[in-house]
Amino acid sequence: MDLGIKGRTALVCAASKGLGKGCAMALASEGVNLVITARGKEALEATAEAIRKSSGVQVIAIAGDIATADGRAAALAACPNPDILINNAGGPPPGDFRSWSREDWLKALDANMLTPIELIKATLDGMIARKFGRIVNITSAAVKMPIPELGLSNGARTGLTGFVAGLSRQTVAHNVTINGLLPGPFDTDRLRANMVFNAKKLGKTPEELAQARAEANPAKRFGSIEEFGAACAFLCSTHAGFITGQNLLMDGGAYPGTL
C-alpha cells in the first residue's frame, strides 16, 4: 500500500534508538524527509546516516534534550513546519512513590506530558493551515493497564492522553489527526534496563526474567521496533484521516479486556 506521504516532512523526537528509531525508519521508507532528535550525538548521527543510506531521504539530526526549552527550540528551528510530528522521550525511572519528590514528578510531567503538548502547540496551527497533519504520541500500555513500579509514567502519560482526547476532536475537520501509540513490551534498551531493575528484586538474572516475560505474553515474544514503526507510519498516512483521538495498544494481546 502506498501511504501517500512521500515528500512530507516529519519531526521524530527521541529517535536514535528504540521505538522512535522504528518510527523514523518506517516513515523514511515511505519517502518522508526527517528531522530526528536525541541527546547523545554519536548514536543519533549513526542512525541518521543509516536511514539516509537505506532510504535516500533527507535526514537532519539535532542533538538535544527534547524535554527542555532549548532542546525543543533547536528541533523546531530545524523543522518549523512538520507535516508529521512523532512525540517521544525517555520514560521516567521505576520506583516506589514514597521516594518521589515534587522535582521527580515535574521531570516526568515535563518529559512525558508537557513536552508533547508544547510541540503540538508549536506545530498544530501550521498543519491546520496546510490542511494536513499527523501527530502520534508514543505513550505506553500503562495508559490502559498501569504498571505498579512505573507510577511516574502512569500519571504523566495519562495526563497527556486526556488532553489529546479533547484536542483531537477539534483538529480532525482540518485533516489533522492526533493519536496515541501504546507500546507493551518491545525489545529495546529501555525494556532491557527495566528487566535489570526487576530481576534484582526477584533474585533472577535479567536474561531469565526477559525469557519468562516473553513466554508470558500471548504472542510468546516481545514486539520489534519495525512492527511499531509500521503502525506509526500507517497512522501518519493519507488513509488514516478518519482516525483521531484513538489509543492503539500494541502489546501482543497482553491486555486481557474485550475492548
Q: Does 62 bind ligand NAP (CB under 6 A)?
A: no
The amino acid sitting at 43 is A
Q: Which of 11, 51, 82, 91 binds ligand NAP (CB under 6 A)?
A: 91
Size of the site for ligand NAP (CB under 6 A): 31
Query: Which residue of 3, 10, 17, 240 would you call a contact of ligand NAP, by CB under 6 A?
Result: 17
Q: Specify whether the CB–CB gap between 10 and 219 falls below 8 A.
A: no
Binding piece for ligand NAP, criterion CB under 6 A, among 94-102, 122-130, 133-141, 238-246 = 133-141
Give least dist CB 44 to ligand NAP, A: 7
CB 114 within 8 A of CB 163: no
Distances, alpha carbon 95 to alpha carbons 89, 99, 101, 197, in Å: 19, 7, 12, 9
* Smaller CB separation from ligand NAP, 176 or 249: 249
Q: Which of 9, 16, 123, 168 binds ligand NAP (CB under 6 A)?
A: 16
Positions 134 through 163 that interact with ligand NAP (CB under 6 A): 138, 140-141
Torsion of CA 149, 155, 157, 159, to 10 degrees: 170
Contact yes or no for 185/215 (Cβ under 8 A): no
**65 interacts with ligand NAP by CB under 6 A:** yes
Least Å from the CB of residue 227 to ligand NAP: 12
229 counts as binding ligand NAP under rule CB under 6 A = no
Give the closest residue to 60 by CA, choosing from 73, 74, 72: 74
Residue 13 identity (one-letter amino acid)? C
Taking the complex as a whole, the smallest distance from the CB of residue 50 to ligand NAP amounts, in Å, to: 13
CA distance linking residue 150 with residue 108, whole number of Å: 11
Least distance CB 225 / ligand NAP (angstroms) = 7
Task: Tell which positions 161-200 bind ligand NAP, by CB under 6 A.
Answer: 183, 185-186, 188-191
Which residue number, 171 or 188, has a Cβ lying nearer to ligand NAP?
Answer: 188
> Residue 54: phi, psi to the nearest 5?
-80, -25
Asked if 67 interacts with ligand NAP (CB under 6 A), we say yes
Shortest Cβ distance from residue 66 to ligand NAP (Å)? Answer: 4
C-alpha cell at 173: 475537520
Q: Per-residue DSSP letters for 41-102?
A: HHHHHHHHHHHHHHH---EEEEES-TTSHHHHHHHHHH-SS-SEEEE--PPPPP--GGG--H
Q: With CB under 6 A as the contact rule, which of the stretches 84-92, 95-103, 160-168, 212-220 interacts with ligand NAP? A: 84-92
Nearest C-alpha neighbor of 138 from the set 48, 21, 46: 21
Which residues of this chain interact with ligand NAP, rule CB under 6 A? 14-20, 37-40, 43, 65-67, 71, 88-91, 111, 138, 140-141, 183, 185-186, 188-191
